[in-house]
């Protein structure tokens, strides 16, 4: 049996016995590894690593000299949080109307698909698109906006990396299995089907001939895609959702371009992040203690100053690009990686796993653990792929689950 098979078997056993796992207590006296505390991280270096908000001035100064720009904001497969996050610019949101004609913003304005289709190609200065591409409507709209726009910004983790919608790529049977689960297996819908469609469950149709004409619904794709897997993207603004500091840098780039003709950053730039990892901006003291047990924050009294990994809490900080000023770890919650990987890393989940693996006591100088012990510990992670790829499944090399020949 391979390592992975044994890990998978153990994981399954552990999930079915999750309550027993929770009762275990963390060993608080695990020793620092030979490398001891992180020498390069100091209060000054952490302060210097923080992302400061861009200075937009009190308010944007009326209309740009060459007239208002056209701005479109669109949501594809997302939760709406990215749209709401734009309100984090506070009162400046009111002055964005001075800078731009908002030609589309489904959550807040009335621009329709046909309005956009009627515009000349390239007549929208900036389209800010959040959400992943999960169905034919998403695909049509992002292609249309690309055609009409000079600049396209991939906004938020769903657009940039697939986000939580792309976790559905782990369903081997694709959209059919997804719809079957949602409409036939979830208790509320299963009860509804049993009560109202006895023996003949009804699933959403993508086309219906009504007396007034044919009604259609978007068709789901088997595989959720990131925005740049469907259209050419100019800039990336990560986060679930992007935070105020990050958004301010995007707005400043657009405002400087519109008001002063300042050149935009090079195409492909990720805006509103720093060149370092989240660990560099996290104030917690890192001692590189060896992991002998994995716990969740609610299972222990979390030390407010010590690195969460040192306390056995899985934190994706080492594999995540800095941009949020360590919002979660400052309040005792591990980073789940919503800002995505650093530029040096393609595979955020694997990178996080590597960082964790390096903390097991398996090195020659402090070998106290064998493979079985590690599998036992790792098996207490109830949903490893969901944990390590919570935001980046759409960009991962794993891509998706498939059904092999023979149906296994």
Q: What share of the chain is helix, strand, coil (3-state, %, to 5)?
A: 40, 15, 45
Asked if 329 touches ligand SF4 (CB under 6 A), the answer is yes
Q: Is it true that the peptide bond before 331 is cis, omega within 30 degrees of 0?
A: no
Cα–Cα distance between 253 and 297 in angstroms, integer? 38
Asked if 135 touches ligand SF4 (CB under 6 A), the answer is no
Which is nearer to ligand SF4, 339 or 388 (by Cβ)? 339
Give 8's contacts (C-beta < 8 A, 6+ positions apart): none
Asked if 241 touches ligand SF4 (CB under 6 A), the answer is yes
Query: In this structure, what token pair is assigned to residue 140?
Result: 């049509």
Asked if 342 touches ligand SF4 (CB under 6 A), the answer is no
Q: Are 157 and 240 in contact (CB under 8 A)?
A: yes
Letter string b/e over residues 177-193, b meaning 16 or more CB atoms within 10 A of that residue's CB: beeeeebbeeeeeeeeb
Cα–Cα distance between 392 and 161 in angstroms, integer? 5
Which is nearer to ligand SF4, 95 or 342 (by Cβ)? 342
Site for ligand SF4 (CB under 6 A): which residue of 86, 251, 294, 309?
Answer: 309
Asked if 144 touches ligand SF4 (CB under 6 A), the answer is no
Site for ligand SF4 (CB under 6 A): which residue of 11, 72, 128, 131?
Answer: 131
Which single residue brings its beta carbon nearest to ligand SF4? 317
Asked if 119 touches ligand SF4 (CB under 6 A), the answer is no
Binding mask 47-86 for ligand SF4 (x = CB under 6 A): -------------------------------xx-xx----
Cα–Cα distance between 227 and 92 in angstroms, integer? 27
Closest approach of Cβ 330 to ligand SF4, in Å?
8
Structural Rg of the chain based on CA atoms: 24
Pick the stretch among 21-29, 64-72, 229-237, 308-316 that binds ligand SF4 (CB under 6 A).
Answer: 308-316
Strands 149-155 and 124-130: parallel
Closest approach of Cβ 115 to ligand SF4, in Å?
23
Q: Are 238 and 270 in contact (CB under 8 A)?
A: yes
Closest approach of Cβ 16 to ligand SF4, in Å?
28
Cα–Cα distance between 345 and 342 in angstroms, integer? 5
Which residues contribute to the site for ligand SF4 (CB under 6 A)? Answer: 78-79, 81-82, 130-131, 156-158, 163-164, 240-241, 278-279, 282, 284, 286, 307-309, 315, 317-318, 320, 324, 326-329, 335-339
């Amino acid at each position: 049996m391979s390592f992975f098979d044994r890990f998978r078997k153990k994981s399954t056993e552990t999930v079915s016995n999750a309550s027993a796992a929770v009762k275990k207590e963390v060993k608080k006296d695990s020793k620092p590894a030979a490398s001891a505390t992180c020498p390069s991280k100091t209060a000054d270096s952490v302060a210097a690593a923080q992302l400061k908000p861009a200075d937009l001035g009190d308010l944007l100064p009326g209309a740009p000299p060459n007239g208002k720009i056209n701005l479109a904001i669109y949501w594809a497969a997302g939760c709406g949080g990215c749209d709401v996050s734009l309100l984090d610019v506070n009162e400046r949101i009111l002055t964005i109307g001075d800078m731009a004609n908002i030609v589309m913003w489904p959550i807040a304005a009335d621009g329709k698909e046909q309005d956009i289709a009627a515009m000349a190609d390239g007549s929208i200065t900036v389209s800010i698109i959040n959400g992943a591409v999960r169905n034919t409507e998403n695909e049509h709209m992002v292609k249309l906006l690309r055609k009409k726009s000079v600049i396209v910004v991939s906004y938020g983790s769903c657009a940039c990396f697939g986000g939580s919608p792309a976790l559905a790529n782990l369903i081997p049977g694709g959209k059919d299995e997804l719809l079957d689960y949602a409409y036939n297996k979830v208790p509320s819908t299963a009860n509804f089907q049993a009560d109202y469609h006895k023996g003949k469950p009804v699933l959403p149709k993508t086309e219906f001939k009504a007396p007034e004409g044919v009604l259609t619904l978007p068709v789901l794709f088997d595989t959720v895609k990131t925005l740049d897997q469907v259209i050419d993207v100019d800039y990336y603004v990560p986060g679930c959702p992007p935070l105020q500091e990050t958004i301010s840098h995007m707005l400043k780039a657009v405002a400087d371009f519109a008001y002063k003709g300042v050149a935009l950053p090079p195409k492909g730039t990720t805006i509103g992040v720093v060149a370092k990892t989240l660990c560099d901006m996290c104030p917690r003291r890192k001692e590189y203690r060896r992991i002998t047990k994995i716990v969740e924050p609610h299972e222990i009294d979390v030390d407010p100053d010590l690195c969460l990994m040192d306390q056995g809490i899985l934190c994706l900080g080492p594999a995540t690009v800095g941009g949020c000023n360590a919002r979660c770890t400052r309040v005792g919650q591990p980073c789940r990686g919503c800002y995505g990987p650093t530029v040096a890393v393609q595979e955020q989940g694997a990178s996080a796993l590597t960082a964790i693996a390096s903390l097991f006591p398996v090195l020659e100088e402090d070998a106290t653990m064998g493979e079985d012990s590690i599998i036992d510990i790792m098996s207490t992670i109830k949903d490893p792929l969901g944990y390590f790829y919570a935001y980046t499944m759409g960009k991962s090399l794993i891509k998706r689950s498939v059904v092999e020949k023979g149906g296994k």
